[in-house]
Amino acid sequence: MGLHDGLLRDKIVLVNGGSQGVGAASARAAVREGAVVAVTGRRPEPGEALVAELSAAGGKAMYVRADLADAEQAKASVAAVVDAYGRIDCLVNSAGLTSRGTLLDTTPELFDAHIAVNLKGPFFAMQAAVADMVARKAPGTIVNIITSSAHGGQPFLAPYVAAKAGLIGLTRNAAHAHRWDRIRINGLNIGWTATEGEDATQRAFHGAGDDWREQAAVRLPMGKLGRPDEIADFVALLLSERSGVVTGSVIDWDQNVLGGLD
């Protein structure tokens, strides 16, 4: 059995932060693999547009409006899925805040915003999802979208790195805590990826022009940025039984090698 062969057939999958970028790609991949998918986002327009796209292609999908910076809304996103479908089998935490800040210029407000979206939201979404799985004595899978920058990262990503490094620890802690419940929890440290959010970030914070992707690509070993659809296929594999017993793994999905020196 391979990708696009029903790896997630009849699974109920929630993709938090699923209305664009890697989240939207993960929702598309899950539907292709046979899942029923719910996506969350703050803005209804892209979320509802994605659900319409998935439904038009013959998939089953729903949109849940949620701001993942709010722990109660993070928990409510899971509750909405359980109310609609009776259970949750798989969770993808893909929402992310990447606004810039160094150790010296980050304000407490910016720091708190990063913790809220990049760590607190995933924590409480996982709490709610795992609670449902444990209550039903059913197995489940969770994938957290993290970042290769969590290994140290750029100086201008200080609060982002702090929060995402926390998510790595949470991923491993929760995986260890619930391995006997047959709940597998893994993470992906993704590298530089061509998403709508990254485009906005490059333009807002780095003065990038329309050709920034091409300029970036020539500086990368594989000659291209990461693609959301490639990451999404890996997410679908980790959510599925095809990934076997793997849990507590945080995989570097990147073209740079940690510890490698030129």
Q: Which two tokens stand for residue 116?
A: 């809220």
Note whether residue 259 is domain-resident.
no
In the residue annotation, 85 being an active-site residue is answered as no
- Could you give the CA distance from residue 198 to residue 205 in angstroms, rounded to a whole number? 10
Note whether residue 101 is domain-resident.
yes
Let me know how long the chain is: 262
Of 196, 189, 179, which Cα lies nearest the Cα of 234? 189
- Could you give the CA distance from residue 197 to residue 97 in angstroms, rounded to a whole number? 9
Q: What is residue 259's predicted lDDT score, i.e. its pLDDT?
A: 86
Whether residues 75 and 186 fall in one domain? yes
Strand partners, 144: 93, 187
Of 50, 239, 245, 67, which Cα lies nearest the Cα of 140? 239
Note whether residue 135 is domain-resident.
yes
**Domain count for the chain:** 2
Give start and end residues of each alpha helix (H) in 59-189: 71-85, 108-115, 121-136, 158-177
Whether residues 215 and 97 fall in one domain? no
159 within 8 A of 97, measured Cβ to Cβ: no
Note whether residue 106 is domain-resident.
yes
Whether residues 98 and 144 fall in one domain? yes
Whether residues 207 and 108 fall in one domain? no
Q: What is residue 1's predicted lDDT score, i.e. its pLDDT?
A: 40
Note whether residue 33 is domain-resident.
yes
Q: For residue 149, report the phi and psi dihedrals to the nearest 5 degrees.
A: -65, -15
Whether residues 37 and 117 fall in one domain? yes
Q: What is residue 202's predicted lDDT score, i.e. its pLDDT?
A: 65
Kindly name the residue from 63, 124, 160, 253 that is annotated as catalytic.
160
In this predicted model, what pLDDT tens digit does every residue of 110-167 receive, in sequence order?
A: 999 999 999 999 999 999 999 999 999 999 999 999 999 999 999 999 999 999 999 9
Q: What is residue 203's predicted lDDT score, i.e. its pLDDT?
A: 72
Whether residues 97 and 168 fall in one domain? yes
114: Cβ contacts below 8 Å, ≥ 6 apart: 97, 99, 101, 159, 160, 162, 163
pTM (predicted TM-score): 0.92
Please name the residue that has the structure tokens 């810039």. Answer: 100
Whether residues 218 and 241 fall in one domain? no
Whether residues 213 and 234 fall in one domain? no
Whether residues 123 and 64 fall in one domain? yes
Note whether residue 5 is domain-resident.
no
186: Cβ contacts below 8 Å, ≥ 6 apart: 141, 142, 143, 144, 171, 175, 238, 243, 246, 247, 248, 249, 250, 251
Note whether residue 7 is domain-resident.
no
210: Cβ contacts below 8 Å, ≥ 6 apart: none
Whether residues 133 and 214 fall in one domain? no
Residues of the chain below pLDDT 50: 1-2
Domain containing residue 210? 197-225
Whether residues 235 and 214 fall in one domain? no
